[in-house]
Amino acid sequence: MISIEDLTCDRLGSWGATGRYDSWAQAVRLAENETTDQERLARRAAELRLDQYLVFGLYLQAEGAAGRLERGDVARYVHEFNTDTAVAVIEHLLRDRGDRVTRATAGVLLNATETRR
């Protein structure tokens, strides 16, 4: 039997490979499920090098809850994880939107996202 944390990582990996909205949506729903062991999920995501996808995926979920997510954002930025961290990708997204952002601002946003986990 596959654990919810491993299934979440599978969906994160699929999102990272394809940029598909449904893979992202499944991953964040599983990550936010009350039965998900957040410590185990964070550990598994780090072991599989999906931790930055997890952080960015949850950030996008928070943006969606605030009404600021464009469906294309889910696929548009995911390829940047080949070279960048979640903070750098969040900065890029905000610059593209015309929002004034600094590394400190992105760090605050990232920390807010991480505390939701």
pLDDT per residue of the chain (117 residues) written in tens, 0 to 9: 899 999 999 999 999 888 888 999 999 999 999 999 999 999 999 999 999 899 989 988 888 888 888 878 777 777 777 677 777 887 788 778 776 545 545 555 556 555 544
CB-CB contact of 52 with 37 (8 Å): no
The rounded distance, in Å, linking the Cα atoms of 68 and 99 is 12
- The Cα 3–Cα 39 span in angstroms is 13
Boundaries of domain holding 19 = 4-116
Q: Is 35 exposed, middle or buried (0-12, 13-18, 19+ CB in 10 A)?
A: exposed
Q: What is the pTM of this model?
A: 0.75
How many folded domains does the chain comprise? 1
